[in-house]
Structure 1
Amino acid sequence: MFEFKWLEDFMSLIELGNFSAAAKSRYVTQSAFSRRIQALELWVGVPLFDRSSYPIGLTEHGNKFVPYAENLLNQIKVTKEDFSLASLKTDNTVRIVCLHSFAINLLPNLLAQFNNQLSHLNISINPSVQGIDNHFQTLLDDSSDLLFTYNMIGMRPSISLENKLEKHILFKEKIIPVISPDLLKNHEDNTPWPLLSYSEHTFLYKVVNQLTKSISVPFSQVFETTLSESLIEMAINGIGVAWVPMHAVEKELIKGTLVTAFTEYSDWTIQLDVVCYHSKANSRPAVLQFLEEIHSLKN
């Protein structure tokens, strides 16, 4: 699927002449930037850059592609300005990008606490954007107003981007081990606990894996996924023990379909700060009011 940001990547690489500088200017890692350039070349069907030269140069096909890229970017800019610039000043929509589990549980629970304070706002939540670099990019290109995420290594903006964003620390989230009552009761002593794990490329995998590798209790991984919701369903069905966000299992803990595992080890509960980012350039009244209410709830 073609993405217009590839065209901006293309023009940035032409201007700066090397992948490292271009990636920095686009606020993404060099590996992510390189993948996006490769995706553009795959979509066009021909190599656009001669990677054997320094600074990197265009191929014959790349030179022919430049006017097309410039024309498309100009049309996109004009279209966006025509349809959004005036309306955003009075628009009551607050656009939020976030993790999938945040959209299902955390944000609905958080918004419910506002009662009628935000009833005149239209809250739009988008959990479909993949990759934290892309999350931050939506704030810069004004396709999102706010980003909700965890304050942890790998989920923070680059140093070059920090001065463009404002961070609000909201509250602490617990990542707790949960298990079905039957599995807890029937698990045999001196045998490994079946572990339901996040996939290796997810952010929660890093913090959970670091913990499970450091404790003395043996685990045997039996399942992995990118989604907390899948881990929770597997845990409910007695397949294993999983570390999941507290906000995602509150109902299950109340109903008793899940219980907290390893209650004798309080330090096996992981605590992470939930934070909200927004662009300093975004001063829309609806966004500022939303942030004001968030702060009042925190205090």
Structure 2
Amino acid sequence: MSSLEFKWLDDFISLKELGNFSAAATARHVTQSAFSRRIQALELWVGVPLFDRTSYPIKLTEDGEKFVPYVEKMLQLIRETNNDFSQASLRTDNSVRVVCLHSFALNLLPNLFNKAGKMLEGLNFSLTPSIQGIDNHFQALLDNACDAIFVYDTQGMRPSYILEDKVERMLVSTTRIIPVIAPELRKNISHYQPMPYLAYSKQTFLYGVVNSVVEENKFRFEQVFETTLSESLIKMAINGAGIAWAPTHAIKEELEKGILIPAFPREKKFEIPLDIVCYRSRESKREAVNLFWSTIKTISQ
């Protein structure tokens, strides 16, 4: 028998409340096929069918109804345990735990901290540059396992409607995702040949943002590389491997030095404006988090 994964319990509650695989999968920020496999894995672990798939909306079986109080107790215990021990991970009451994308950790957050100056003096920051399973990070906010999340304001990185009234959102800045290329490569590529294209992998949030633009002009590009990291695409572009779409906040220095140049400076249709937002739990009571939030709000205006 496979081991129980805690996320299956949240999946179970989501499907119970929504009664629809598609809606529940959207709420859990996974594909419907992946969500269905997770429900099946939970049913295999329990040993009985939990949902009647012949009804619409989908309903619990008799065994599924009996399983509900067990799930609720397990989730409550998990969250209480996480909350108790997450407090032990705080070095001081002045700690602020931030989760963000890698490019934000390298560029955006250091710039914000520098701009804030003494306004954040005395705070101790723990920065985790990873966004994997965005629903888990929003749940971490509610469980007090982290204090703030910085993400792009795209559909795949927003809280589900089940959670959206439990978190507070703040606009931090607006960036542009622009196509850039090394000057030497730009000079040597004919207008009549497709450009080598450095792509985001499909599991990244920027893939959907950039791919729609690329698909509309597919005849102009030929993919030669893909990765999950903006930093890797930027480095490959600097090395002359191809054209890459990169956030302007991550390539400010490269553009100023001319190491990278806009690939289509006269064609604004290739530029993608994108808001950067920060979330926190509405239940957050810690003064350190309140100070951090108010400071970021002040310097972002």
If the length of structure 2 is used for normalisation, what is the TM-score? 0.80
Offset, 1:195: 1.2
Alignment check: 8 A CA contact 2:18 2:24 kept = no
Whole-Å Cα distance in 2 between the matches of residues 155 and 85 of structure 1?
26
Matched residue pairs, number? 294
1:57 aligns with 2:61: yes
Cα root mean square deviation, aligned: 3.6
Could you say what secondary structure the match of 1:158 adopts? Answer: coil
Alignment check: 8 A CA contact 2:29 2:133 kept = no
The match for 2:129 among 127, 130, 133 is: 127
Offset, 1:211: 2.2
- Partner residue of 1:202? 204
- Partner residue of 1:164? 166
Amino acid across the alignment from 1:56: L
Offset, 1:16: 5.0
If the length of structure 1 is used for normalisation, what is the TM-score? 0.80
The match for 2:106 among 99, 104, 107 is: 104
Sequence identity (%): 50
Alignment check: 8 A CA contact 2:177 2:246 kept = yes
- Partner residue of 1:296? 298
What is the 5 A alignment of 1:136-155? 136-155=138-157
Whole-Å Cα distance in 1 between the matches of residues 23 and 242 of structure 2?
45
- Partner residue of 2:226? 224
Whole-Å Cα distance in 2 between the matches of residues 230 and 58 of structure 1?
51
Whole-Å Cα distance in 2 between the matches of residues 154 and 284 of structure 1?
29
Offset, 1:264: 2.3
Offset, 1:242: 0.6
Describe the superposition over 1:14-44 as per-residue Cα deviations: whole angstroms up to 9, x where unpaired. Answer: 96594559949976568365444345457x4
Larger mean Cα displacement after TM superposition, 224-233 or 261-270: 261-270
Alignment check: 8 A CA contact 1:165 1:280 kept = yes
- Partner residue of 1:279? 281
Alignment check: 8 A CA contact 2:82 2:145 kept = no
Alignment check: 8 A CA contact 2:16 2:60 kept = no
- Partner residue of 1:239? 241
Amino acid across the alignment from 2:292: F
Larger mean Cα displacement after TM superposition, 46-55 or 171-180: 46-55
Offset, 1:172: 0.9
Amino acid across the alignment from 2:136: N
- Partner residue of 1:116? 118
Alignment check: 8 A CA contact 2:86 2:145 kept = no
Offset, 1:101: 2.1
Query: Cα gap change, 1:119/1:21 in structure 2, threshold over 3 Å: closer, same or farther?
Result: same
Amino acid across the alignment from 2:214: T
Offset, 1:131: 2.6
Offset, 1:159: 3.2
Offset, 1:268: 2.7
Query: Cα gap change, 1:183/1:137 in structure 2, threshold over 3 Å: closer, same or farther?
Result: same
Amino acid across the alignment from 1:289: L
Could you say what secondary structure the match of 1:222 adopts? Answer: strand
Offset, 1:190: 0.9
Amino acid across the alignment from 1:112: N
- Partner residue of 1:184? 186
**Unaligned regions of 5+ residues in structure 2, if any?**
none
Offset, 1:179: 0.8
Whole-Å Cα distance in 1 between the matches of residues 75 and 218 of structure 2?
56
Offset, 1:181: 1.8
Whole-Å Cα distance in 2 between the matches of residues 175 and 22 of structure 1?
30
Whole-Å Cα distance in 1 between the matches of residues 160 and 99 of structure 2?
18
Offset, 1:292: 0.9
Whole-Å Cα distance in 1 between the matches of residues 70 and 164 of structure 2?
33
Larger mean Cα displacement after TM superposition, 198-207 or 171-180: 198-207
